């Protein structure tokens, strides 16, 4: 079961590479949150129940419902339909995505072979998520897409931390969640301000400050 979920998580990033409607990014984000929720429920047996409960609530409530809904509202309010033409064309991005997947598989095989003490599939896919989201951030121009890709990056890191299954103290989990929450909130505030002041939402308009 958990293997299917992980594969779905990996496929979702391919879908984002192919998609150009911003709303479908948000839906993918919500889907990833849901997949992470089921992973936490099915797979984490060894750590204490309080931590599992916390992680389950975090993934289901925050990652799958609250943040996607919040971002969806922002997108609809600002009437953002599609991503503008990226720096690297769709075709070459897909090629690069395949390259990132190969890298992820290599990492998974390698970690299984040397017995690195991580769950190989989790490890490989989390690396795919992290590198792919960084690539998307560099390649896409809309500020809202940057915020969405930041969330994908966070999902990748969450998956990476699941692959280790070492327990973080509750205080740390709480702090990370709070930072994420406030971070997204501030991102959106600044996004709205940029939309207002600069009359647009591409990063290309942010060129006033330079040497």
Partner 1 sequence: MIFILLFLPVLLGAIVLLSKSRIITRTSLILLPMVYIAVTISAWSGLNWIILPGWLNIFFKFDPIGILFLAVMSVVFLASSIYSIFYFDEHNCSVQQEAVYTATMFLFVAAMTGVLLSTHLALMWVFVEATTLTSALLIYFEKKKSSLEAAWKYIYICSIGITLAFVGIIILSIGSRSFNSLFFSDLYSHSSEINPFWLQISFAFILVGFGTKVGVAPIHAWLPDAHSEAPSPVSAMLSGTLLNTAFLGLIRVQEIMIDAHREEFSNFLLLVTGFLSLLISAVFMLQIKNYKRMLAYSSIENMGILFIGIALGKPGIFAAMILLAAHSFSKTSLFLTSGNILHHFKTKKIESVHSLLKRDSITGWIWIISLLSISGIPPFPAFIAKFLIAKAFFAAGLGWLSIPFFILLAVIIYGMGNAVFKMSFGENKSEIIESKRLNFSAYTGQVLMLLLLIAIGTNIPETVLNLLKNAASFLN
- Positions in the binding site for partner 1 (CB under 8 A): 116-118, 130, 134, 137, 143, 146, 150, 153-154, 157, 160-161, 164, 166-169, 171-172, 175-176, 178-179, 182-183, 186-187, 190, 193-194, 197-198, 206, 208-209, 211
Long-range contacts of 91-95 (CB under 8 A, 24+ apart): 93/17, 93/135, 93/139, 94/17, 94/18
Q: How far is CA 145 from CA 6, 23, 86, 164, in A?
A: 23, 10, 11, 29
Q: With 0-12 CB in 10 A as exposed, 13-18 as middle and 19+ as buried, what is 202?
A: middle
In whole angstroms, the minimum distance from the beta carbon of 210 to partner 1 comes to 9
Closer Cβ to partner 1, 18 or 206, answer by number: 206
Which is closer to partner 1, CB of 78 or CB of 90? 78
Q: By C-beta, is 12 or 126 nearer to partner 1?
A: 126
In whole angstroms, how close is the CB of 167 to partner 1 at the nearest point? 7
As measured in angstroms, the least distance from the Cβ of 109 to partner 1 is: 16
Q: What are phi and psi of 142, to 5 degrees?
A: -75, 140
**Smallest separation, CB 127 to partner 1 (Å):** 9
Residue 11: in which H helix or E strand, if any? helix 2-18
In terms of CB distance, is 95 or 190 closer to partner 1? 190
C-beta of 91: minimal distance to partner 1 in Å? 26
Among residues 32, 55, 43, the alpha carbon closest in space to that of 129 is found at 32
Q: How far is the CB of 103 from partner 1 (least distance, A)?
A: 15
- The Cα–Cα gap between 28 and 202 comes to 22
Task: Report the alpha-carbon distance of residue 130 to residue 19 in Å, rounded.
Answer: 18
Which conformational region is residue 125 in: left (phi greater than 0), alpha (psi within -120 to 50 degrees), or beta?
A: alpha
Residue 91 or 207: which CB sits closer to partner 1?
A: 207
| Residue closer to partner 1 (CB basis): 79 or 199 | 199
């Amino acid at each position: 079961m958990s293997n299917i979920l992980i594969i779905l998580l990996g496929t979702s990033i391919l879908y984002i590479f192919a998609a150009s409607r911003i709303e479908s990014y948000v839906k993918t984000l919500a889907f990833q949150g849901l997949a992470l929720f089921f992973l936490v429920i099915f797979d984490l047996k060894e750590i204490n129940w309080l931590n599992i409960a916390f992680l389950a609530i975090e993934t289901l409530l925050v990652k799958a419902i609250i943040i996607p809904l919040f971002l969806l509202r922002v997108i609809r309010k600002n009437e953002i339909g599609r991503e503008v033409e990226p720096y690297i064309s769709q075709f070459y991005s897909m090629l690069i995505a395949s390259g990132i997947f190969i890298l992820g598989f290599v990492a998974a095989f390698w970690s299984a072979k040397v017995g690195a003490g991580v769950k190989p599939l989790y490890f490989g896919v989390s690396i795919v998520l992290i590198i792919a989201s960084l690539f998307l951030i560099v390649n896409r121009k809309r500020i809202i897409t940057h915020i969405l890709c930041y969330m994908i990056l966070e999902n990748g890191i969450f998956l990476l931390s699941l692959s280790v299954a070492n327990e973080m103290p509750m205080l740390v989990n709480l702090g990370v969640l709070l930072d994420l929450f406030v971070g997204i909130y501030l991102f959106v505030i600044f996004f709205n301000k940029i939309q207002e002041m600069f009359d647009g939402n591409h990063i290309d308009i942010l060129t006033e400050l330079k040497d």
